[in-house]
Amino acid sequence: MMKELVTTIARSLVDKPDQVSVAEVEGNQTTVLELTVAKEDLGKVIGKQGRTAQAMRTILSAVSSKIKKRTVLEIIE
């Protein structure tokens, strides 16, 4: 569910949505989502002063607190 959420948000932000990929690394208490986009779209996903990335992390935090599991978003360069 979280993977699809991040994928949908990222694809709506970038110019090359076909190059968006999200890898999910499951842990006991934490799930790490690794977001990879095209190099020229990296700035769009991060946003000015990291605001877009922070907004995505806030949404993830809100959703993951509902299902009582911690989720971390990492943007891979």
Residue by residue, DSSP assigns 25-45 as EE-SSEEEEEEE--GGGHHHH
**In the predicted structure, residue 54 carries a pLDDT above the cut 90:** yes
pLDDT, residue 34, reads 93
C-beta separation of 20 from 7 below 8 A: yes
Specify the CATH number for 2-76; select among 3.60.70.12, 3.30.930.10, 3.30.300.20, 3.40.190.10: 3.30.300.20
Q: Could you state, in order of their start, the residue ranges of all structural domains in the chain?
A: 2-76
**In the predicted structure, residue 49 carries a pLDDT above the cut 90:** yes
pLDDT, residue 10, reads 92
Q: What is the pLDDT of residues 9-38, one digit of tens each?
A: 999 999 998 999 999 998 888 889 999 998
Tokens of 25: 């690394």
Band the pLDDT of 1: cuts 50, 70, 90.
Answer: confident
